[in-house]
Chain A
Amino acid sequence: SQQGEEDPQALSIQEGENATMNCSYKTSINNLQWYRQNSGRGLVHLILIRSNEREKHSGRLRVTLDTSKKSSSLLITASRAADTASYFCATDPSNTGKLIFGQGTTLQVKP
C-alpha cells in the first residue's frame, strides 16, 4: 500500500518564484528520492538524499531530510515554466528498487 503524504497536493506559482514541496513517510529509510513526472509521461529521477544527510543541493534543487520527523522537503528555486510537472517522493525500505511513492505534488509555474 502507499505510504507517506505530500503537501501541498497542488501548487501554482509565477515564474521566478520558489516552490517548496513536503513529503512525509512512515518506515525507516536508507535514503529518500525525488522524482518528476511530466503529464502523461514516465518519471525522471531528480535527487537522492541518504538517511545520514540533512541537506543536499543539485542545481536549482535543494532537498532536506528530517529523519526524526520522517519528513523531507524539495525546494525549486527561481522556477521556470518548464518546471511544471508532478513531483513525487519515494522511499525504498528494502533497498531493492521497490519504491514506495507519495501521492505527489502538482506544480504549475505560470510564465
Chain B
Amino acid sequence: DTGVSQNPRHKITKRGQNVTFRCDPISEHNRLYWYRQTLGQGPEFLTYFQNEAQLEKSRLLSDRFSAERPKGSFSTLEIQRTEQGDSAMYLCASSLTGKVEKLFFGSGTQLSVL
C-alpha cells in the first residue's frame, strides 16, 4: 500500500494522559499536513511541514499539541494532558510541494478522551 498511513486507527484514553499519533506519508511527498475533524464538521487545518521544517501552525494548536517530522519522512502528533474537547478524528495528508492542489489523506486516528 503506497498511500498515507496513520496509526493507530483508534485511541481511547483518559483525561490527563498523553497520546501520540503517527503518520507515514506517500514516500516521495515532501509536504505533510495535520487536520482535525469533529463529528459533523469539515476538517480544520492544524499544521504542516515542508520536509522536516514546520512551516505553519494554526491557532487551534495549543501548547499541549506538538508535531514533529524529524527526518522529513514520517510525522508524529503528540497531545499532552488530554482533555475531553480533544476528542476528534486526526487526519494526516501529504502532497508534493509543486502539487498542493491535490492532497492525499490517510484514514485518520479517532481519539476518544474519557
Contact B103 A96 (CB under 8 A): no
**CB under 8 Å from chain B, chain A span 53-111:** 88, 90, 92, 95-104
* Residues on the B chain within 8 Å of A98, using CB: 33, 45, 48, 56
A31-B101 contact given A98-B48, A99-B43, CB 8 Å threshold: yes
Contact B101 A92 (CB under 8 A): yes
The residue among A31, A101, A102 with the most chain B CB atoms within 10 A of its own CB is A101
The secondary structure that dominates the A interface is loop
* Residues on the B chain within 8 Å of A103, using CB: 40-42
Cβ-based interface call for B104 (8 A):
yes
Contact B108 A96 (CB under 8 A): no
* Residues on the B chain within 8 Å of A90, using CB: 42
- Candidates A45, A88, A97; contact of B33 at CB < 8 Å: A97
CB closest chain-B residue, reference A101? B42
**CB under 8 Å from chain B, chain A span 1-55:** 2, 31, 33, 35, 40-45, 48
Cβ-based interface call for B74 (8 A):
no
* Residues on the B chain within 8 Å of A96, using CB: 48, 55-56, 100
- Candidates A2, A31, A41; contact of B107 at CB < 8 Å: A41
Contact A97 B42 (CB under 8 A): no
CA distance A45 to B42 in the complex (A): 14
Binding site for A on B (CB under 8 A): 4, 6, 31, 33, 35, 40-45, 48, 55-56, 89, 91, 93, 95, 100-108, 110
Binding site for B on A (CB under 8 A): 2, 31, 33, 35, 40-45, 48, 88, 90, 92, 95-104
Given A97-B31, A99-B103, 8 further pairs, Cβ under 8 A: A31-B101, A35-B105, A40-B89, A40-B107, A41-B108, A42-B107, A92-B100, A96-B56
